Each structure stands twice: as structure tokens, then as C-alpha cells.
Chain A
Amino acid sequence: AQSVTQPDIHITVSEGASLELRCNYSYGATPYLFWYVQSPGQGLQLLLKYFSGDTLVQGIKGFEAEFKRSQSSFNLRKPSVHWSDAAEYFCAVGAYAGKSTFGDGTTLTVKP
């Protein structure tokens, strides 16, 4: 069975500070890993994805994530957070064509 754990329900950072959101997954094969962002009242938007190759992947809006197979982790990072980054962030794991399984999300609050 596939599953995702996002240990931090809520994170608050100051604008301009760095950010790391944690994601741990369980998957029986080589995983396809994703980070999505959801703003209030909006659908989910893909930030970045990992299938294979370089374990450090770059995404939109200045986000990056690192795949660590030995730790079953796919943590999301951003060096300097902007107020507009306040949203809910979801990590997901899945296959190429089948379902993706999502974590319960981390809510990011940005302090001015």
C-alpha cells in the first residue's frame, strides 16, 4: 500500500526566511513524487515532481525538493519565503498512470 506522511500540520515562518516542509512516503516500487500547493478556494497546482535522475528537482515559484531514497523522504524547500507563499502544501506519491496518494497537508503561514 502507498502512503504519505506530512509530520507538520502547520508551519509559521517570517517573510524572507527559509522554509522546509517534510514529506515521508511508503511505496513498493520506484515512486513518482509530487508537491502540490492549494490556495483557499482554489484547486491544487503542481509545484514540482520527481520520477528519476537528479535527486534535487526544481519547481515553480522558486521551490525545490530533494528525493532521499534511504530516508523515504521528499522534502520541499525554499530559500526565501514570500507572503504570497502562504497556502496549504500537499505531498503525493503514485504511479505513472494510476492513482496518487496525498498526505494531509501542511499549512504555511507567513509573518510580515
Chain B
Amino acid sequence: DTGVSQDPRHKITKRGQNVTFRCDPISEHNRLYWYRQTLGQGPEFLTYFQNEAQLEKSRLLSDRFSAERPKGSFSTLEIQRTEQGDSAMYLCASRSKTGDAGELFFGEGSRLTVL
């Protein structure tokens, strides 16, 4: 069990550029979640997948944000035409479908800074 890994850990970009984050969940976990966290706030739900199906998206997720999990394993979160307000920590988490259910296992996050 290598845990949830996220890449890159840090990304600095200029306003208007596109960025993509990758998340590799714990291998036997079929559910994968993306959250966004800004300073002084708790994690804010963005979207989640069960296997390759995207089951829920937050209304906060604008059209500039898209997430995929094409083979039900790793996931990518792309932000197009970044804005300064997108600066945040993007957290990925995964969850098992059986056993000790309910707990989210988090990666260490990908920090985005938009200049």
C-alpha cells in the first residue's frame, strides 16, 4: 500500500495557462475524490468518481475545470485558462468500497499558484 500520490506537488503558472494534476489512488480503492482547500478553510468538495464514472460534481466547479478517470485507476484534474482565484491546494482522496468503509485516504495535495 503506497498511499495516495499526487503530482506535481507544486505548480506555479501564469494567469490564462492550463494546468493538469494527476492523482494515483490506493490500488484497490474504487472511489476517488477531488477537493480544493484554500488558506483558513476546510477541504471543499469538487467531484468524485466510482470506477471510471463521474458521479457528482460540485456546482462550484466551473466549466474551466474538468476531471477524468479513464480506466478507473488514476485521475486527472485539468484547469483551463487559470485565474488567480484558482490558487489553492488541490487534494485527492480515495475510498474503499468494502471493509472499513467511509474513511477517505488523502494524498499530500498539489499546490497551485496562479500569478
Contact = CB atoms under 8 A, between A and B. Distances in A.
Nearest to B100: A49
Interface residue tally of chain A, by bracket?
A: 20 to 34
Interface residues of B, number: 27
Contact of A97 (B42, B43, B50, B105): B50
A105 B42 contact: yes
A91 B47 CA distance: 19
Nearest to B108: A43
A103 to B, nearest CB: 5
B109 interface: yes
A43 B48 contact: no
Nearest to A88: B42
A49 B69 CA distance: 28
Contacts, number: 62
A44 B41 CA distance: 13
A41 B108 CA distance: 7
Nearest to B31: A97
A12 to B, nearest CB: 17
B45 A101 contact: yes
Contacts of B104: 34, 36, 44, 46, 100
Ranked 4 nearest A-B pairs via Cβ: A102-B42, A43-B106, A44-B106, A43-B108
Given A97-B31, A99-B45, 12 more contacts: A32-B102, A43-B106, A43-B108, A44-B104, A92-B42, A98-B55, A99-B33, A100-B33, A100-B104, A102-B43, A104-B40, A104-B41
13 contacts: A4-B42, A34-B104, A43-B107, A43-B109, A46-B103, A46-B104, A96-B102, A97-B95, A98-B48, A99-B56, A101-B45, A104-B41, A105-B40
